[in-house]
Amino acid sequence: MLKVHSTLPNSQNIENLSAKDYPEILSVWEASVRATHHFLSEKDIAFYKSLVLKYALPSMKAFGIRVQNKLAGYMAVSDYKVEMLFIAPEFIGQGLGKKLLSFALNELHIPLVDVNEENPNALGFYLHMGYQIISRDEKDGNGRPHPILHLRHKQHIEK
């Protein structure tokens, strides 16, 4: 069971993150993955963790929210897609993911996101936030058997 803070300060600001924040980012990533990605093995987690640090983070812009000087959640984006959105387990369900995703959509004008099909809570969150499934890949970007759903925000669906 996830332990959750009952209230969060109203003034959490989204900040730019940099290489100096990578240890905190990886800590949030791993804790969140362990709490939400039950379909991954220990070997999978180690594999993806090394990719996040070596390839993903250096090639993306990262933004985070701190609560009491602790990184509580972050997202990393490319030009048109939210590539990562992870919230520390103790802050899941407190609005941080919504705040980061709204920032991506409204301030950065990024309408796309991918989600693991095997993570129904994340999929439900994105659908609730107005995203629609536009396609599916049987394997993830590394050729592993974890189906990926590609989503686009409904404001950006071509009619």
Q: What is the pLDDT of residue 156?
A: 75
Q: What is the pLDDT of residue 158?
A: 60
Q: Which of 70, 82, 30, 81 is nearest to 53 (CA)?
A: 30
Rg from Cα positions in the chain: 15
pTM score of the predicted model: 0.88
Q: List 62's β-bridge partners, or say none.
A: 17, 76
Q: What is the pLDDT of residue 155?
A: 85
Q: Where are the domains of the chain?
A: 14-156
Residues (pLDDT < 70) of the chain are: 1-11, 157-159
Contact 116, 126 (CB under 8 A): no
CATH class (in words) of the domain with range 14-156: alpha beta
Contact 88, 2 (CB under 8 A): no
Q: What is the pLDDT of residue 2?
A: 32
